[in-house]
């Protein structure tokens, strides 16, 4: 359990709209039933009328709804202001090999940069750059470019080093990597937390909340199903699903249009296809889903296939609930399932 500052400290931060406390706590206002960020511009409540929470999840579970003025469920930004300039420089020249002294010359603290990339991408800054460059190289090989020329064009001093790097990330020799599917991975920020999106050049194959325990397992299964390699980056389908998710959470999206790629057993794919047929704002039981799949006795198997869904929200496994109406079994957490069901019911067109 997260330890919060004492209540008087939090209340004073709320009165002063202290942004340094952003993300440390949220304030529930008993008289209005909403919860806010510390920097909310709304009129401040009396001390006796507030409750403090360590997360938006805790505030939601306590029965408070998000404030419309400060939008506590919305991310403050995928990239902090102090890093924007560095990302601009990376985009202009991904082949630049940044040294710590160069980062300092550009007013970036190397330790802070490394920590941010490790926290948000799971790899160091330099590993991130190497993977980006390698992804570009794999793309060129897929289009028939010469291996030797590609290696030296992408900053590798030896062909053997390039071949080894390709094999580490794809699992196959460089000469064979052109035949392997590439899945681009990128974060998408949502009001319910960051999601990891994966896409090939044909559509979205992965969309999971990044704190889901099964995420690594799902990636391993996907790797076997698609015979693919993963690199950080983006493509038109990741851009499209990010745009559609933004509209979805605003309540303005009628249907997801981004192409989907879902590979599984015949039974799993049958379950996932039936999930796509559940209308927005409606829920069904696992028993009903088993009937729709054509196997009324396979309730438990249907539940497992439901949990194996790798494209959350778009393939709406959250719309399946217990026979008694209770919310059960959601990999992203029951608090998210509750939020999604209520969001869809409140935004029916």
- The residues that are catalytic are 317
Give 3-state DSSP helix, strand, coil % of the chain, rounded to 5.
45, 10, 40
Would you call 340 exposed, middle or buried from its count of C-beta atoms within 10 A (0-12, 13-18, 19+)? buried
Token pair recorded at residue 143: 């289009």
Q: How many angstroms separate the CA atoms of 348 and 344, rounded?
A: 6
Q: How many angstroms separate the CA atoms of 307 and 332, rounded?
A: 10
Residue 220 CA, distance from chain mean position: 17
Residue 287 CA, distance from chain mean position: 30
8 Å CB contact between 199 and 237: yes
8 Å CB contact between 249 and 287: no
Token pair recorded at residue 286: 């696992």
Crossing angle for the helix pair 125-142 and 110-121, to the nearest 10 degrees: 60
Mapped onto helix, strand or coil, the DSSP state of residue 35 is strand
CA atoms within 13 A on the CB side of 46: 3
34-36 and 320-321 beta bridge pairing: unpaired
DSSP 202: S
Residue 242: partners with Cβ closer than 8 Å, 6 or more residues away? 188, 197
195-199 and 181-188 beta bridge pairing: antiparallel
């Amino acid at each position: 359990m997260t330890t919060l500052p004492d209540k008087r400290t939090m209340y004073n931060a709320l009165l002063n709209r202290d942004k340094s406390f952003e993300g440390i706590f949220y304030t529930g206002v008993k008289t209005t039933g909403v919860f806010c960020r510390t920097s909310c511009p709304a009129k401040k409540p009396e001390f006796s009328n507030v409750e403090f929470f360590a997360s938006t999840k805790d505030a939601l579970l306590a029965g408070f709804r998000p404030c419309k003025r400060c939008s506590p469920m919305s991310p403050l930004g995928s990239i902090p202001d102090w890093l924007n300039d560095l990302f601009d420089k990376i985009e202009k020249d991904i082949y630049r090999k940044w040294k710590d002294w160069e980062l300092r010359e550009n007013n970036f603290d190397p330790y802070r940069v490394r920590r941010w990339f490790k926290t948000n991408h799971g790899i160091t800054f330099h590993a991130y750059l190497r993977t980006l460059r390698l992804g570009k190289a794999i793309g060129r090989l897929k289009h028939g470019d010469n291996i030797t020329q590609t290696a030296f064009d992408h900053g590798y001093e030896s062909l053997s080093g390039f071949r080894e790097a390709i094999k580490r990330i794809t699992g196959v020799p460089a000469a064979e990597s052109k035949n392997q599917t590439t899945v681009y991975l990128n974060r998408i920020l949502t009001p319910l937390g960051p999601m990891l999106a994966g896409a090939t050049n044909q559509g979205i194959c992965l969309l999971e909340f990044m704190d889901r325990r099964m995420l690594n397992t799902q990636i391993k299964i996907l790797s076997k199903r698609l015979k693919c390699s993963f690199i950080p980056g983006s493509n038109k389908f990741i851009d499209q699903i990010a745009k559609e998710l933004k509209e979805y959470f605003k309540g303005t999206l009628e249907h997801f249009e981004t192409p989907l790629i879902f590979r599984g057993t015949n039974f799993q794919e049958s379950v996932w296809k039936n999930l796509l047929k559940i209308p927005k704002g409606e829920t069904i039981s696992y028993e009903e889903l088993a009937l729709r799949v054509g196997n009324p006795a396979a309730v438990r198997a249907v539940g497992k296939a439901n949990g194996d869904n790798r494209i959350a929200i778009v393939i709406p496994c959250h719309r399946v609930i217990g026979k008694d109406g209770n919310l059960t079994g959601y990999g992203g957490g029951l608090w998210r399932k509750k939020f999604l069901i209520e969001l869809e019911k409140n935004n029916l067109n």
